[in-house]
Amino acid sequence: MGKTIFINMNDVKIKGDILDMSSENSGIIYNISKDVEEEICVDYVTSENKSVLDERKYDACTFVFNFNNILGNRRKAKVIKDVVKYLKEDGEIYVWDVNKEGGRFINYKINIALPHGEIKKAILKNYNPIATCSINEIRKILEKYCEIREAKVWEDVFFIKAIKNKSQHREELKNENIINSNKLKVHS
């Protein structure tokens, strides 16, 4: 087993309805959010419930060690673009992930400090030599749709908190519609 990484989520407060993209690390976000509000809703994304997302808008979306397993920036950008659609106007995105360079393998024990002294243990493995993930690449993608409020790195782990930016997102959608309309051809 590789090195052990400690993450303190004791002071993290996420309010409102939460879309948790972290299926493998489920329970982490619920545990840090259950003390913030009396009634919380944490939805987990699976292939079976993806259609339910179209009916809801969320206050926050969380990613806990998701992006290091997604190959290519285009796929990462598509995930973020899709998630932004499910956020309310001032919705927040929280990302915890690991900096991974190409050619490097990851085999970490993760200890996450939760409220009330609880420790959630997880194992993070990524043996794909072409997979990469960095705070800079995720930040660059998020900046298309969000305003970055906080970004920090410790050991090999990074954290980003972003707020959905109404004007940037509208402009992005408008530009996308213009590009798509240019693809239409009129046949007579």
Domain with residue 89: its CATH number is 3.40.50.150
Q: State which residues form the domain around 149.
A: 4-182
Q: Provide the phi-psi class of 65: left if phi over 0, else alpha when psi is between -120 and 50, else beta.
A: left
82, part of any domain: yes
pLDDT of the residue at 170: 58
Q: What is the pLDDT along the chain (188 residues), one digit of tens a residue?
A: 689 999 999 888 888 888 888 766 567 887 777 665 555 566 656 555 565 666 789 999 999 999 998 999 999 999 999 999 999 999 999 999 999 999 999 999 999 998 888 899 989 999 999 999 999 999 999 999 999 999 999 989 999 999 998 765 555 566 656 655 555 555 44
In angstroms, the CA 175 to CA 173 distance is 5
Rounded distance between C-alpha atoms, residue 130 and residue 118, angstroms:
35
- Helix residue ranges per DSSP H, 70-142: 73-85, 135-142
Give me the number of domains the chain comprises.
Answer: 1
Question: Tokens standing for 22?
Answer: 């972290």
Give the per-residue pLDDT at 183. Answer: 53
On whether residue 76 sits in a domain, the answer given is: yes
Tell me whether residue 174 is in a domain.
yes
Say if 176 falls within a structural domain: yes
Q: What is the pLDDT of residue 13?
A: 86
How far apart are alpha carbons 36 and 43 in whole angstroms? 16
Q: Is 187 domain-assigned?
A: no
What is the per-residue pLDDT for 53? 64
Q: Residue 115: its pLDDT value, please?
A: 84
Residue 79 forms part of a structural domain: yes
Distance from the first to the final alpha carbon of the chain: 66
The torsion angles phi and psi of 77, rounded to 5 degrees, stand at -65, -40
Residue 91 included in any domain = yes
Strands (E) across the chain are located at 4-8, 17-20, 41-44, 58-64, 87-98, 106-113, 119-126, 146-154, 157-164
For residue 188, being part of any structural domain is answered with no
